[in-house]
Amino acid sequence: MSLPRIAVDAMGGDEGVRVMVEGAALARRSHDKFKFLLVGDQARIEAALEDHPNMRGASEILHCDDVISGDEQPTRAIRRAKTTSMGLAVNAVKEGAAGAAVSAGNTGALMAISKIALRTMPGIDRPALAALMPTLEPHDVVMLDLGANTEADARNLLQFAVMGAAYSRIVNGFEKPVVRLLNIGTEEIKGTDALRDAAAHLTAASAKNEGGLALQFDGFVESDKINRGETHVVVTDGFSGNIALKAIEGSARFVTDLLKQAFTSSLRSKIGFLVSRPATELLRHHLDPNNHNGAVFLGLNGVVVKSHGSANAKGVAHAVTVAARLLEDKLTERIAHDLNELGAAALKENGNGTAPGSEALA
Amino acid sequence: MSLPRIAVDAMGGDEGVRVMVEGAALARRSHDKFKFLLVGDQARIEAALEDHPNMRGASEILHCDDVISGDEQPTRAIRRAKTTSMGLAVNAVKEGAAGAAVSAGNTGALMAISKIALRTMPGIDRPALAALMPTLEPHDVVMLDLGANTEADARNLLQFAVMGAAYSRIVNGFEKPVVRLLNIGTEEIKGTDALRDAAAHLTAASAKNEGGLALQFDGFVESDKINRGETHVVVTDGFSGNIALKAIEGSARFVTDLLKQAFTSSLRSKIGFLVSRPATELLRHHLDPNNHNGAVFLGLNGVVVKSHGSANAKGVAHAVTVAARLLEDKLTERIAHDLNELGAAALKENGNGTAPGSEALA
């Protein structure tokens, strides 16, 4: 099967053209069927390509010299979609010139441009941003929404559950990912009405359709358990998800900073550090965001992957590979199919965010 | 000055009477003016006291043999306030038999019992739960609300800011603690209406009353910066606060678990671990929740401190010392005074959660 090519915004991100091209080349070393549309300044892309003979014949350049800046307002970015590398990369997906787009640029601008160019898929009210995070287990956990929507009602949360499960199945290979709603306690009475309604509907759907449902719903999860690995998909609104994601990142950095301080506090500890370096390298590898890079805008008519602004070539390669797998495994079609199984369409028609049948379960 | 005694719920928490009494005795070793009302089973308290001659003459026992369980519903706990160690400890504050209460029991029950017995102080609409967390700096950061209120409007957030700043001043000794609102970005347009309104009011109040205001408001903070130490008080609603707190705890545990795995993965790393033990002990000490123990219900007519359910004697001693300092420094009176300075009373009268003058600032 030939894979549609991947449009890479070569100009977005802090690291510039060289790292984006190197990342694409690195991904291609493991997957030689990958093909690319590299969007950005032709001369700089050509210069970067010279170091990567494995990209010859596998990449086309779409020239443009304008770039969306890191702090550009989404409203302004939208107006500049036709002349910027980010806008043209997403547009290539809309026009069918590429199957997926990868950008390391401004998240808000990428979301806004993608929503307008690709539009929300049928059955989804609002797209969501989903990311991968490390766990104690070999697999990553998927968390969404991470900030595309400040608030979410029960219907949004259900749709996020379906989209997140599809992402987890493709990236981590689970047949029925364990899905939980992020809450401040695990008892049924905890949290907001939206959370309780979403939980009631997911529980009812699981009971009715145990065989066909593409996820296992298992109630609420608290944020101290996100990284344990027992939950495969953590579903929440964009405000709480953003708070949880950044709290986890900040706390991990805090502990590793303390560790560095401790290891350099005496000669003895410096020696201990050198001796145990292979162990701390293991830790560093496990926590390295480049090994978990590739947040995805789920719920659009097309695949758009956001690479960390500061990702290195390995990180870009990871994001490109995520995009390719989502394409290959037909993410959008899977979501459409699973939404149907969940009966989320019925919830949608209900229109008030309350799960049908949730009264009976209360 | 003689300090009012501290009522200790000797029966709450996972560790039982012995640890609560040992904790009180440990606190008294550094502060010999502390006096206690120990509430719980007389025989067990007397047995525990035998190991601590420094408690002789400094403690009275209030006997009761009933205890609020860890999973008891707040509504049931309220009905049992007159017969349980937690209820009687809080009641002692209400009756003036003690100045403050410390309990390691069920948080929800302690909040409910405290609200009913002590009532919310004038000028405060809703009490909040505030805790201390470690930072890269020598001082702790205060974060509130951590779950007393699932939602918070602008007026609640302002009151939390005042209460958290008073707590930070007393515990960390800052004259004007740096206060920030937790948000998903630092730009003015980010977040909910409640956050933007609260920010506008705090900004206006700071400009008007720079000299008199007992805090420095400095806009929004994202959750990855909570532990950096640049912010002294992080203000948020109970849902987001609980998500952030537990995400930080879970992530710190995740990293230290990975570190343990790494250090035991080979003989070499085990040796490195032994050599660098003093360094990793420093880290353990810094992260040990017992050194930051003592969450406080702010906004009540009286001081109630929640000790971690699993705190050891050192942790209990820390919570007891926090309670004593809040008493000594007249927490409640400070909050009343600072509320006035902020003009939060005006916001209260406005009644719709919108900051007066926020239109002018928009």
Structure ipTM: 0.88
A225 closest CB neighbour out of B250, B269, B280: B250
Domain boundary among B118, B133, B152: B118
Q: Where are the alpha helices (DSSP H) in chain A?
A: 16-30, 42-49, 74-79, 85-95, 107-118, 154-172, 193-208, 238-263, 267-275, 277-287, 313-328, 331-342, 344-350, 358-361
pLDDT: which is higher, A53 or B362: A53
| Residues 6+ away with beta carbon under 8 Å from A229 | A135, A136, A137, A139, A141
Q: Are B334 and B130 in contact (CB under 8 A)?
A: no
Domain that holds residue B111: 1-118
Q: Is B202 part of a structural domain of the chain?
A: yes
Q: Are residues A79 and A183 in the same domain?
A: no
The residue of chain B nearest to residue A258, with distances taken between CA atoms, is B283
Q: Do B248 and A253 touch (CB under 8 A)?
A: no
What sign has the CA pseudo-torsion A271, A277, A280, A281?
Answer: positive
B279 closest CB neighbour out of A252, A269, A274: A269
- Residue with token string 């705090």: B202
Q: Are residues B56 and B186 in the same domain?
A: no
Smallest CA–CA separation between B239 and chain A, in Å? Answer: 6
The CA distances from residue B261 to A136, A216, B258, B289, in Å, are 10, 29, 5, 21
Q: Are residues A282 and A149 in the same domain?
A: yes
Q: Are residues A103 and A245 in the same domain?
A: no
Mean pLDDT for chain B overall: 88
pLDDT in the model for residue A190: 80
- Report, in angstroms and rounded to the nearest whole number, the Rg of chain A calculated over CA atoms: 21
Q: How many pairs of residues across A and B have Cβ atoms under 8 Å apart?
A: 199
Q: Is A302 part of a structural domain of the chain?
A: no
Smallest CA–CA separation between A282 and chain B, in Å? Answer: 6
Q: Are residues A6 and A151 in the same domain?
A: no
Q: Do A273 and B272 touch (CB under 8 A)?
A: yes
Chain A residues with CB-CB distance to B72 below 8 A:
none
pLDDT in tens, B51-92: 999 998 999 999 999 999 988 999 999 999 999 999 999 999
Amino acid at B176: K
Q: Are B111 and B129 in contact (CB under 8 A)?
A: yes
User: What gap in Å lies between CA B162 and CA B335, rounded to an integer?
Assistant: 7
pLDDT in the model for residue B210: 62
Q: Are residues A89 and A171 in the same domain?
A: no
Q: Do A252 and B250 touch (CB under 8 A)?
A: no
Q: Are B182 and B240 in contact (CB under 8 A)?
A: yes
Q: Are residues A63 and A185 in the same domain?
A: no
Q: Give the residue from B110, B344, B131 showing the smallest Cα distance to B236.
A: B131
Q: Is B298 part of a structural domain of the chain?
A: no
Q: Is A227 part of a structural domain of the chain?
A: yes
- Residue with token string 């992530």: B251
Report the b/e string of A244-280 with b at 16+ CB within 10 A. Answer: bbbbbbbbbbbbbebbeebbeeeeebeebbebbeebb
Domain boundary among B118, B140, B162: B118
B262 closest CB neighbour out of A192, A224, A280: A280
Q: Are residues B270 and B145 in the same domain?
A: yes
Q: Give the residue from A159, A261, A259, A269 showing the smallest Cα distance to A205.
A: A159
> Phi/psi at A307 (nearest 5 deg)?
-90, 145
Mean pLDDT along residues B239-268: 88
Q: Do A150 and B192 touch (CB under 8 A)?
A: yes
User: What gap in Å lies between CA B189 and CA A128, rounded to an integer?
Assistant: 20
The residue of chain B nearest to residue A182, with distances taken between CA atoms, is B243
Domain count, chain A: 2
Q: Are residues B219 and B356 in the same domain?
A: yes
Q: Do A275 and B279 touch (CB under 8 A)?
A: no
Q: Do A259 and B283 touch (CB under 8 A)?
A: yes
Question: Which residue of B245, B251, B277 to mutate against A (max A Cβ within 10 Å)?
Answer: B251
Does residue B84 sit in helix, strand or coil?
strand
Q: Are A89 and A39 in contact (CB under 8 A)?
A: yes
Question: Angle formed by the axes of helices B193-208 and B154-172, to 10°?
Answer: 60
Domain boundary among B95, B118, B141: B118
Q: How many percent of chain B have pLDDT more than 90?
A: 65
Q: Are residues B130 and B48 in the same domain?
A: no
pLDDT in the model for residue A232: 97
Q: Name the pLDDT band for B357 (thresholds 50, 70, 90).
A: very low
User: What gap in Å lies between CA A212 and CA A104, rounded to an integer?
Assistant: 37
Q: Give the residue from A142, A351, A125 showing the smallest Cα distance to A231.
A: A142
Q: Which of A324-328, B180-184, B209-213 has the lowest mean pLDDT?
A: B209-213
The residue of chain B nearest to residue A265, with distances taken between CA atoms, is B279
pLDDT in the model for residue B1: 55
- Residue with token string 């702010």: B298
Chain A residues with CB-CB distance to B135 below 8 A:
254
User: What gap in Å lies between CA A132 and CA B187, rounded to an integer?
Assistant: 26
Q: Is A315 part of a structural domain of the chain?
A: no
pLDDT in the model for residue A278: 77
Q: Do A246 and B266 touch (CB under 8 A)?
A: no
pLDDT in the model for residue A269: 78
Q: Is B278 part of a structural domain of the chain?
A: yes
A150 closest CB neighbour out of B191, B225, B255: B191
pLDDT in the model for residue B335: 92
The CA distances from residue B23 to A224, B19, B64, in Å, are 27, 6, 20
Q: Are residues B138 and B222 in the same domain?
A: yes
Bridge partners of residue B301, in order along the sequence: none
> Is the pLDDT score of B150 beyond 70?
yes
Q: Are strands B128-133 and B141-144 parallel, antiparallel or unpaired?
A: antiparallel
User: What gap in Å lies between CA B307 and CA B342, rounded to an integer?
Assistant: 31
> Phi/psi at B212 (nearest 5 deg)?
-85, -20
DSSP string, B317-348: HHHHHHHHHHHHTTHHHHHHHHHHHHTHHHHH
Distance of CA B245 to the CA centre of its chain: 12
Task: Spell out the per-residue pLDDT of chain A, length 362, in tens.
Answer: 578 899 999 998 888 899 999 999 999 999 989 999 999 999 999 999 999 999 989 999 999 999 999 889 999 999 999 999 999 999 999 999 999 999 999 999 999 999 999 999 998 999 999 999 999 898 999 999 998 888 999 999 999 999 999 999 998 889 899 999 999 988 777 888 999 999 999 998 887 766 678 899 999 999 999 999 999 999 999 999 999 999 999 999 898 888 888 888 788 878 877 777 777 777 777 788 888 888 999 999 999 999 998 899 999 999 999 999 999 999 999 999 888 887 754 454 444 443 333 322 22
Q: Is B37 part of a structural domain of the chain?
A: yes
Question: What CATH number should be reported for the domain holding residue B82?
Answer: 3.40.718.10
Q: Are residues A99 and A141 in the same domain?
A: no
Chain B residues with CB-CB distance to A182 below 8 A:
243
Q: Are strands B100-103 and B6-9 parallel, antiparallel or unpaired?
A: parallel
- Report, in angstroms and rounded to the nearest whole number, the Rg of chain B calculated over CA atoms: 21
Question: Which residue of A129, A258, A267 to mutate against B (max B Cβ within 10 Å)?
Answer: A258
Q: Name the pLDDT band for B211 (thresholds 50, 70, 90).
A: low
Q: Name the pLDDT band for B349 (thresholds 50, 70, 90).
A: very low
Mean pLDDT along residues B199-206: 89
Smallest CA–CA separation between B248 and chain A, in Å? Answer: 5
Mean pLDDT along residues B139-158: 93
Q: Do B223 and A136 touch (CB under 8 A)?
A: no
User: What gap in Å lies between CA B14 and CA B318, rounded to an integer?
Assistant: 17
Chain B residues with CB-CB distance to A278 below 8 A:
266, 268-269
Q: Is B321 part of a structural domain of the chain?
A: no
Smallest CA–CA separation between B347 and chain A, in Å? Answer: 25
Chain B residues with CB-CB distance to A72 below 8 A:
none
